[in-house]
Amino acid sequence: MSKILFNIENLSFSISKKEILKSLSLKIYEGDYLSIIGPNGGGKTTLIKCLIKIYQSPVNKIFFKEQPIEKIPQKKLASQISYVPQINETNFPFTAKEFLMLARYPHLSRFSSVTAADTKAVASAFDITNTTNLANRFMNTLSGGEKQMIFIAAAFAQGGEVILLDEPATFLDPKHEHNVYQILKTIHQETNKTIVTVTHNINSAILNSNRIALIKNGKLDFYGNSVDITKNNILEKAYNKKFTFIKHPASEKSIIVPEVV
Amino acid sequence: MNKKFLLLLFSLLALLVLALTPFIGMEKIPFDTILNFDSSNIHSDIFWRIRVPRILIAFISGSALAISGMAFQAMFRNALATPFTLGVSSGAAFGAALYVKIGFIFSLLGISGQTLFAFAGALVSIMLVYILSKVKKGFPVGTMLLAGVAINFFFSSFILFIQFISDFTNSFRIIRWLMGGFEVIGYSDIYNVIPFIIIGTIIIILLSTELNLLTLGEDVAVSRGVSLSKVKNILFFATSLMVSGVISVVGPIGFVGMMVPHISRLIIGADHRYLVLLNIIFGGAFLVLCDTLSRILIAPAEIPVGVITALLGGPFFIWLLIKSSNNNSI
């Protein structure tokens, strides 16, 4: 087994007095492509936000490389972990290139300007996401799919070894959805970064990630190899709904078939 | 257009404004008399002891109000959220009015009591804004603005009360001061506020990258490595310093901190490394021009400069409100 990156031990977390995470424990391993699935309102987004300290979790509950996360300065944490938020409609008054350069913030010191390493990181981020042609476009002129690509590129440019993503392909058309998963896979395979993504697309989780965590009602319901999620009625119990499976013609993995209603 | 070129262009325009406006006014100043430093020369005296200090204080006030407004707009991600609209100015005004009423004149480390009282008032109202923004994460900006209106009413009532219990002279002094104006003589007021403005300006210039990140939203800013509460606390502190320093001397001049940063953003873009510099230049020149209008429009009488900025700012505010209702970003 490879090294543990995140060790989450009995994490409970409340927002406005409502308990969202209930004593959740989970280990995330280096080099994994982990998909986090589960019913709406189960705490997936909250967990991701705790991992990058957008939410301040209680002390000694989350460890990153064996260090309690609250002890790591935000800038240092950001140099190792990057984050792609849920698609939002906010219009940023920056070009894609300026936006990516801002992602280099954890590597800047206050008085130095952009270094060659920054320029290189931004160029290779555009490269790996096939978005070099968008570099000089303003963020508010991009389509939803293009904007999401730029967010992923920014997370890549930030240079960490972990990328956290919150429903990166929701609301995208099939082509852009495919592009997102394609690029995540490329990043995972070519650079060996750890990918942790929240998703509602269970088939993509089965086909693309090597591990799945299922979170329901603030607790870990299932954690294991992605192909095992279709066994033992795990999904039926979690979503309280019947699922029909079929073998994927190319990968031979069992996936969900949409139902006729 | 190139951003550095734009900055240079506006610097030259601002220098032109600074060079010409001291010659505009009731009394014509012959150019050759200004190099005569003999105080018995009435023209030289008007020029160096009245007009130049007045223009300098208008300039630094405009710069400070503009970059304070810019910092608030970035923090709240809304062009309407400025120290003036969120009630910080009225807090500072209350502090200064209270000082006038008490009538106990003192100073500390060379800083006048009025400035210190204004600073305390600004801090109290900034604390109120701060607590409100913390009560619920992602407090909608509309609600923040309404809270600002409430804070404004709250302090305005206090100021009215102070006026009511003051004698006629103090009451008039407070009213005149609330309208805003730069009727300074000599340079002592400038020495009084310049430390506040320099410290605040340096802090905001050093935090321009953080301001860029804050315009992306707090979640993204944190995930990029910004220590959010630390940065916001420093920004609140720096803006209180500048706003209270300015207000204690020239009164609560409104809307400069909203109009100038917004127009600057349209001119030079949202990158705060350039935006902050344009705000310093443009904010200063803008307020000097407003003050010149206030001196000449109904000469020999003056229109208080606060009236002029409010006459320009009110319609601007409504325009922004209509424009931003279908697009809530800055």
Asked if A160 is an interface residue toward chain B (Cβ–Cβ < 8 A), one would say no
Which pLDDT score, from 0 to 100, does residue B90 have?
87
pLDDT number for residue B326: 47
Please report, for chain B, the start and end positions of each structural domain, with discontinuous segments joined by +: 3-17+41-324
Phi, psi (5° rounding) for residue B111?
-95, 130
Contact present, B279 and B70 (Cβ < 8 Å): yes
Q: Is B271 on the interface with A (CB under 8 A)?
A: yes
Digit-by-digit pLDDT tens for chain B (330 residues) are 688 899 999 999 999 988 888 888 777 777 777 777 666 777 787 888 888 889 999 999 999 999 999 999 898 888 888 888 888 888 888 888 888 888 777 777 767 777 788 888 888 887 887 787 677 655 666 777 788 888 888 888 988 888 888 888 888 878 877 877 777 777 888 888 898 899 999 999 999 999 999 998 888 999 999 998 899 889 988 988 898 888 888 888 888 888 899 899 888 888 999 999 999 999 999 999 999 998 888 878 888 888 888 888 888 888 877 776 544 455
- For tokens 């997102």, the residue is A180
> Are the beta carbons of B225 and A49 separated by less than 8 Å?
no
Q: Which of B206, B225, B270 sits opposite A105 (nearest CB)?
A: B225
Rounded to 5°, angle at Cα B229 from B223 and B230:
105
Tokens read off for A73: 């300065």
Q: Is B233 on the interface with A (CB under 8 A)?
A: no
Q: Using CB atoms, pick whichever of B213, B228, B265 lies closest to residue A102.
A: B213
Nearest CA in chain A to B273: A113
Measure CA A93 to chain center: 25
Place of tokens 């070099």: A132
Cβ-based neighbours of B231, under 8 Å, separated by 6 or more: B207, B210, B214
A216-256, pLDDT tens digit by residue? 999 998 998 988 888 888 898 888 888 888 888 888 888 98
User: What is the spatial distance between Cα B229 and Cα B235, in angstroms, rounded to a whole number?
Assistant: 10
Tens of pLDDT, residue by residue over A48-77, are 999 999 998 888 899 999 899 999 999 999
The Cα–Cα gap between B207 and A223 comes to: 43
The span from the CA of A64 to the CA of A28, in Å, is: 10
What are the DSSP E strand ranges found in chain B? 107-108, 111-112
Q: Which CATH superfamily is domain A4-256 in?
A: P-loop containing nucleotide triphosphate hydrolases (3.40.50.300)
ipTM: 0.90
Q: Which pLDDT value is given to residue A1?
A: 58
For every residue of A57-107, DSSP letters joined together read PPTTSEEETTEEGGGS-HHHHHHHEEEEPPP--PPPSSBHHHHHHHTTGGG
Q: CA–CA separation, B36 vs B3, rounded Å?
A: 40
Beta carbons of B227 and A103 less than 8 Å apart: no
Report the percent of chain A where pLDDT is more than 70: 97
Nearest residue in chain B measured CA to CA from A114: B209
Q: Is CATH 3.40.50.2300 what the domain over B3-17+41-324 is classified as, yes or no?
A: no
Does any CB of chain A come closer than 8 Å to the CB of residue B145? no
pLDDT at A165: 94
The tokens for B151 are: 């804070």
Helix (H) or strand (E) holding A255: strand A254-256
More confident: B192 or A1: B192
Mean pLDDT of the region A20-39: 92
Instruction: Establish if B140 touches chain A: CB-CB under 8 angstroms.
Output: no
Measured from the Cβ of residue B73, the count of other Cβ atoms closer than 10 Å reads 24
Instruction: Give the residue, B183 or A175, on which the prediction is more confident.
Output: A175
Q: What pLDDT is stored for residue A89 in this prediction?
A: 66
> Most B CBs within 10 Å: which of A18, A92, A165, A166, as the mutation test of the B interface?
A92
pLDDT, position B21 = 86
Q: For residues B303 and B296, what is the distance between their CA atoms, to the nearest angstrom?
A: 9
The pLDDT assigned to A112 comes to 67
Domain ranges of chain A: 4-256
pLDDT at A211 over 90: yes
- Reduced to 3 states (helix: H, G, I; strand: E, B; else coil), residue A250 is coil
Degrees, nearest 5: CA angle A140-A145-A146: 55
